[in-house]
Amino acid sequence: MAIRNIINESDELLHKVSRPVTEFNERLWQLLDDMAETLQKADGVGLAAPQVGVLRRVFIMDMGDGEGVIEVINPEFVEKKGRQEDVEGCLSCPGEYGITKRPAYVKIKAQDRFGKDFFLDGEDLKARCICHESDHLDGIIFKQHVIRMLDPD
């Protein structure tokens, strides 16, 4: 495993749409393992492949709830309900936070590292994280959902 560099919002790669994963092999597994180590070192909640310079539809999350790292490949939204407004930040925009509007509940269909389909749902922070990381796969940064940026002081 290796820690990868997290690119910042000024890198045009972060504003591009990622391609689906079609090969579930050691190269993908290495990416996932590296992303997990990178996320842990950065002390974040989620990390998308574009943030480490890879334009593939992959993200990981670790909610700190004992469930560990959740690997999400080729996610597709199945359901979104409700509304929530809360503080959001991004590892690619260090030190910047804003209030965003997101669904209160989401459900996605995705694949695991072996290509097996699964469903993942979440409320509150987990729903925000799923939306935030999925946005990265479409070249969208959280600031595009911000109602109001917060003062850094």
Give the residue numbers marked as catalytic.
Answer: 133
Of the candidates 82, 75, 72, which has an alpha carbon nearest to the alpha carbon of residue 35?
72
For Cα atoms 61, 130, 136, give the angle at the middle one, nearest 5 degrees. Answer: 90
- Residue 72's nearest CA partner among 118, 41, 30 is 118
Query: Cβ distance 45 to 59 under 8 Å?
Result: no
> φ, ψ for residue 25 (rounded to 5)?
-135, -170
Q: Is 23 exposed, middle or buried (0-12, 13-18, 19+ CB in 10 A)?
A: exposed
Angle at 97 between CA 36 and CA 54, to 5 degrees: 35
